[in-house]
Chain A
Amino acid sequence: MKLRSRFVVMAILMGLGLLAGHSSKVLAQEIPPPGAYRPSVPAPADIAAGKATYFRKCVWCHGPDGAGDGASTKRLPTKPRNFNQGTFKIRHTASGELPTDEDLFLTVKNGLSGSAMPAWDGILTDVEIKQVVSFVKTNLVLDRKFDDKDEEFHVIDYGTQVPTSEESIKKGQDVFMNKGKCVECHGVEGRGNGNLTQRDDWGFPIFPANLAKPWNIRGNRRDPYNPKNIFREVSTGLNGTPMPSFADTLTVEDRWNVANFVMSLSEHYPIEASTNKPKIGFIIKGKFLKEGKTPNDANDPRWNDLSPQYVGMGSQIIQPPRHFLRTVDDIRVRALFDAKEVAFLFEWDDRTESKQDENRPAIYDAKAIFSTSFPDANYTTTNNTHEDDEAVGPLKGVQIPDVGTYNDGIAIQFAQDWQKLPSPEKPYFIHGDTKRGVDIWKWQSDATVSELEGRGLEAVSARDSSNVKVSSATWKNGRWQVVMKRALLTEDKEKSAQLEVGKNIPIVFFAWDGDAGERDGKMALSTYYYLMLEPPVPSRVYYVPPIVAGVVLLLEGWVFYTARRKKKEGEESA
């Protein structure tokens, strides 16, 4: 009875465990069966309900006629989808075909990360999403009909997935470089720096995806490290863009191998579910170098002792002049220091190596665009993403003309006299304020290095001397690597931040992409982080625990001895 009852208990516990596991979140990567497909015919009630939802939530970007000309279009570098032509990017159907119902459902539910299309999961119920999709399919897709008998739908075949392995990645690299020639657009390291002159169907500039940031790839369906996404996009091509379908030129195995290779191009940061971007830790840890001086370039093997920390960057849309187009959406930071100085390694993806040149047009700022898809709207330029053209209110009439290309740049900002700041007060993060100044270490791609004093965005001034040095700045395959150094302590204690070991030093980061028209206040910026230069671990951390463990052993021995003696006494007296 005892044995059997134990089995019963085990079985019950296992059953409960299985139930608990099943209820965990199931990733939405439902694949429709390959082959021919017919979409559903939406019910009129669903279309009416979808219309109501559309005019509450979707119209502001996609426009009242679904032509992608809503209010937000003037500020977005990547325009909202124009539904009228029935051209959809992320699908399971062959190149040039309309999407399945599930494709549209998943796009709305998961959003298109890296663009302004959010995930509507949790905001709209599944039923509401289906209704909105019904409305879009019926009323806003004008040039094609989903129920047209001549419209063909061929869902791609995923075949047998090739699991990732060294061999698969190597084969995939061969496909990437030679067979599929992906490298021509996406670049040697996949950072999207290969072909910078392309346009989409509507005439807007379009740039190859940066494959080293899978969380920004549109069709990642909030599952950025899943190679299925790459397989699908390579197999179907992205309608409306220069990305073709490779279903006819690459075998299924080739496509899985290249998918595995693409997944190997990026650092697999843990993803924050609510933003679908890498998780951000707000402390940048610097490591102490016991021997030797700080590294001079990015190739120094000692950098590999640190993992690059992800710093998120937004656009400076806060203080005038506002700028919506930032292309640098993150930088990776590492810090090493010795007794005298600190070295930062900044790495960030930038499709272009930009230098100041009035005569060279900035690639992101293409002015001569006329879109035939929007005859009524005045879309003669994508330069509406800068504030100047739409300045209203007190800034009306203030024009800052953009001329040509500017320098790329990076800066790290410290608070002047940060030790004296009454916690948690700090200077205003955008270059300080009148009460509190900041110490900005700035590098630009024309090799100028400066230490600036900031007392507000309007009051940034260069200082006579600069102790800041940039020992190496290289752009290669779509990525900048800059090593910036300075002594920990300098003479000017008032204006230069004095870096102390073992303290949380507030810092902010700034980046400029010259080909996006960025300079001075038009930039990408981060929020407040902390720099922590970690002192070496004190030796007592290593020798005290064994001593304590030894003491515990002695105590155990004493307890054991006492217990034995008690037992002996008990036996003797019995």
Chain B
Amino acid sequence: MMKRKSLLMAILSACLLYPVLSFAGGASGFINAGTFALVVQLGMGLTVIFLAWFVKNVLKIHIPKLVQAPLIWIAAFIVFRVILQPPLPFTILAVYMGIITIAIFLYSSIDEPSWQEFTAPIRTMLQEDTKNAKTSRYIVFAALPLLIGYGTYNKLMPKFEEPVELRTVHPAPPASINIHGKILNLQTEYNPFRGKGADGKEEAGAQYMGKNPFAADAPKYLQNVKEGGEIFFGTAGCMFCHGDNLDGRGMFAYAFNPIPANFADPGTIAQLQETFVLWRVAKGGPGVPRETFPWASAMPPWEKHLTQDEMWKVIMFEYWHTGFYPRTWD
């Protein structure tokens, strides 16, 4: 009997540790992030085991098995849902919690004495007539129909929620676009205002980040950035939607859905080539493919308001302000 119990304990612990280990191992940089996470989580697990021992042997509070089971279940849920980062997808969470549930039931029912101890409170409630038993019986027998009745009411009540519409945020760009009669090949075009760096390639502009574009002796690169900023904040008025910090929190952002793009987030312009950004700026909302919802986008088609040079300068300004570099081919 003891052997079976310990075997089950081992399986249960493996169920708990498996996701921890696989997550830690799968996370990029096994040595840095993963190992640290692993250590932290093992530490937490040991703390929980210590707390359980402490409660049982030092404080001598006896927790009935019927209560231990949901406590373990809740603790496991907290670990998977809250403590493990980044958050688990729901399907994986469901699988893990399913395994935990089965493991808990197996553990409780592994042998007759264990099962008897587990179901003792239920039997007491049904069969005994002591004051406690009667009270618990009344409470449970009243609560169950009420809860199930309420649950049925909730299920039957027609709910009208916003339809779920999934939008592609980064659509595939076209191979070429036509701006003001000029055809641009998006795979070969480059921002003419960046100029060439010391290595003969397009100037990334690292040495200009954080420098003052209004300084009297500002180099040409920064003068272009300054003009781009004056277009962003002035002529075009991009900050009304995209915000003064280019984080999508402009004065009108609250009114629109989808919300304006957050350039300060590493998931937007930092991931894109400059020609992609030019396409989005020039053609605006109406120019995106169906999966990106052109009908709902408040992004203006800037070819109606700006020249191509102005668009390139604005894009340069956006990268300078956010401290990002456009994605390059190499």
Taking Cβ atoms with an 8 Å cutoff, the residues of A that contact B are 1-2, 5-6, 8-9, 51-52, 55-57, 59-61, 64, 70-75, 115-118, 120, 123, 272, 274-275, 277, 280, 282-283, 285, 312-315, 317-320, 322, 324, 329, 387, 390-395, 423-429, 433, 436, 502, 504, 526-528, 530, 532, 534-535, 537-538, 540-541, 544-546, 548-550, 552-553, 556, 559-560, 563-564, 566-567
Q: Which 7 A-B pairs have the closest CB atoms?
A: A314-B252, A549-B149, A312-B255, A71-B234, A563-B126, A5-B59, A275-B254
Q: Which of B101-109, B170-178, B199-207, B286-294 participates in binding chain A?
A: B286-294
Q: Is the CB of B239 within 8 A of A393?
A: no
* Binding site secondary structure of chain A: mixed
Q: Is the CB of A315 within 8 A of B252?
A: yes
Chain B residues near A394 (CB, 8 Å)? 180, 303-304
Chain A residues near B153 (CB, 8 Å)? 541, 544-545
Given contacts A118-B249, A545-B153, contact A564 B160 (CB under 8 A): no
Q: Is B131 an interface residue (CB 8 A)?
A: no
Q: How far is the CA of A393 from the CA of B307 in the complex (A)?
A: 5
Q: Is B127 an interface residue (CB 8 A)?
A: yes
Q: Is the CB of B310 within 8 A of A392?
A: yes
Q: How far is the CA of A394 from the CA of B61 in the complex (A)?
A: 81
Contact of B295 among A8, A426, A549, A564 (CB under 8 A): A426
Given contacts A428-B295, A549-B146, contact A64 B214 (CB under 8 A): yes
Q: How far is the CA of A426 from the CA of B247 in the complex (A)?
A: 28
Q: How far is the CA of A564 from the CA of B129 in the complex (A)?
A: 11
> What are 14 A-to-B residue pairs whose CB atoms are below 8 Å?
A55-B213, A64-B214, A71-B231, A275-B254, A315-B252, A317-B241, A426-B296, A502-B158, A544-B153, A545-B156, A549-B148, A552-B144, A553-B145, A560-B126
Given contacts A527-B256, A541-B156, A544-B156, contact A428 B304 (CB under 8 A): no
Q: Is the CB of A395 within 8 A of B305?
A: yes
Q: Is the CB of A60 within 8 A of B306?
A: no
Taking Cβ atoms with an 8 Å cutoff, the residues of B that contact A are 55, 58-61, 123, 126-127, 137, 141, 144-146, 148-150, 152-153, 156-158, 160-163, 165, 180, 210, 212-215, 229-235, 237, 239-241, 243-245, 247, 249, 251-257, 264, 284-286, 290, 293-296, 298-301, 303-307, 310, 321
Chain B residues near A277 (CB, 8 Å)? 254
Chain A residues near B296 (CB, 8 Å)? 426, 429, 527-528
Q: Is the CB of A71 within 8 A of B212?
A: no
Q: Is the CB of A274 within 8 A of B249?
A: yes
Given contacts A322-B305, A395-B304, A530-B163, contact A56 B210 (CB under 8 A): yes
Chain A residues near B55 (CB, 8 Å)? 9
Q: Is the CB of B152 within 8 A of A283?
A: no
Q: Is the CB of A527 within 8 A of B298?
A: yes
Which residue, B144, B163, B234, B240, has most C-beta atoms of chain A within 10 A? B234
Q: How far is the CA of A318 from the CA of B238 in the complex (A)?
A: 10
Chain A residue nearest to B209 (CB atoms) is A56
Q: Is the CB of B212 within 8 A of A55?
A: yes
Given contacts A57-B245, A427-B295, A544-B152, contact A392 B306 (CB under 8 A): yes
Given contacts A5-B59, A118-B244, A563-B123, contact A75 B237 (CB under 8 A): yes
Chain B residue nearest to A424 (CB atoms) is B165
CB distance from B290 to the nearest CB of A (A): 7
Q: Other than the known A60-B239, A116-B251, what 7 A-B pairs have Cβ atoms closer than 8 Å?
A: A2-B61, A64-B214, A71-B231, A75-B233, A502-B160, A546-B149, A552-B149
Q: How far is the CA of A271 from the CA of B117 in the complex (A)?
A: 51
Given contacts A71-B234, A545-B156, contact A567 B304 (CB under 8 A): no
CB distance from B151 to the nearest CB of A (A): 8
Contact of A423 among B145, B163, B301 (CB under 8 A): B163
Contact of B163 among A395, A424, A566 (CB under 8 A): A424
Q: Is the CB of A504 within 8 A of B160?
A: yes
Chain A residue nearest to B306 (CB atoms) is A393
Given contacts A426-B295, A556-B141, A567-B127, contact A282 B162 (CB under 8 A): yes
Which residue, A9, A272, A393, A560, has most C-beta atoms of chain B within 10 A? A393
Q: How far is the CA of A319 from the CA of B240 in the complex (A)?
A: 15
CB distance from B224 to the nearest CB of A (A): 14
Q: How far is the CA of A1 from the CA of B58 in the complex (A)?
A: 10
CB distance from B258 to the nearest CB of A (A): 8
